[in-house]
Structure 1
């Protein structure tokens, strides 16, 4: 029994160490579509990484209306959907990601006629739940 407890403790310690090695966003030059990341204060979670812009973490995707975006406060706080399809990452995750270091926001809007519009902001930051996840900063805007 004591040996089993020791083995379990060792395995648990190994899991903690592997969590510490996870990136806090999509790695630059990432080739994989879905990554597991670890943001301070949260359990590890999966995110889609942009194939078009390596190193960019996708925070929301709407494609065909298959996911209902009329949600409660709690659902927007925690996130919803399927990261391989339509989803929203969650306000708490966004806050934790943007509170530790500067982040850029890149918005790609596909239109029904097939055209696409882009916007880029160089300093994106979301407040905490106490601040109702207020948009704290977006920085300078540029169109790409």
Structure 2
């Protein structure tokens, strides 16, 4: 762990010495391989940050990219932190034609699957915990095509409601070099304000379950479908983001990340909804 020593003095809350890495405590421990437990960069921290951005601030901006313990709710979880890009908490990563199956059940999408060091879905429950506040959050989307051209987009603010609301998606204003594929008002493809759908729980606006519809034999996976999709970052054979990523313009990778909003600081009592902003 020599690579940690140069920024340890700035992190006054870390207690790394004498820690037994076999006893890593995290509610989503299934999202990291047992042999990677020693890669958690803030194991032993007495008071955990609620997200990666808070960890970055705690380290005076010196924290490196990697896996950290964070605590957005009652229990710690592991998450990959994109520190060099500004302290983003990565909540989804997909590689086209990934070996990871994204055709999962409601329960699996709720608590996450995959590996936080690679392709994964962090979990709808943790998306809700992260974005419910205090303070508003924003969503970052990163797309990389087969020519290594990267496009970015941000929705500010961003909220995923709780399970009783079927993890409904709430989005604010968009900016970026990517196309606005979630809030653009196109017929049947408006993802903002939609509930989450999986193969075993149909909450979309189509007469069939959008998560079950196949392209080249691969189902769509869980997503905030309308009827059905102007974007879908969980279809592993074709990453879809309207004109930026599709079967004609192939993308190799996609990320979804969250961090505190730059513009809106306080949240009203109760869950934030777009129509309350």
Smaller-chain TM-score bracket: 0.7 to 0.9
User: How far 1:121 sits from its partner (Å)?
Assistant: 1.2
Counterpart of 1:139 (choices 157, 164, 172) is 172
Counterpart of 1:22 (choices 45, 48, 63) is 48
Q: Relative contact order (C-alpha < 8 Å, sep 6+): which is higher?
A: 2
Q: TM-score, normalised by structure 2?
A: 0.43
4+ residue runs over 6 A deviation? none
Does the aligned pair in 2 maintain the 1:128–1:134 contact within 8 Å?
yes
User: How far 1:54 sits from its partner (Å)?
Assistant: 2.8
Q: Give the unaligned 5+ runs of structure 2.
A: 1-24, 26-43, 178-277
User: How far 1:20 sits from its partner (Å)?
Assistant: 6.3
Distance of aligned partners of 1:66 and 1:37 in 2 relative to their CA distance in 1, 3 Å threshold = same
Structure 2 equivalent of residue 122 of structure 1: 156
Cα distance in 2 for partners of 1:52, 1:67 equals: 26
Does the aligned pair in 2 maintain the 1:106–1:118 contact within 8 Å?
yes
Q: TM-score, normalised by structure 1?
A: 0.80
Structure 2 equivalent of residue 71 of structure 1: 104
How many residue pairs get aligned? The number is 126
SS of the residue 1:139 aligns to: strand
Structure 2 equivalent of residue 54 of structure 1: 86
User: How far 1:51 sits from its partner (Å)?
Assistant: 4.2
Does the aligned pair in 2 maintain the 1:34–1:46 contact within 8 Å?
yes
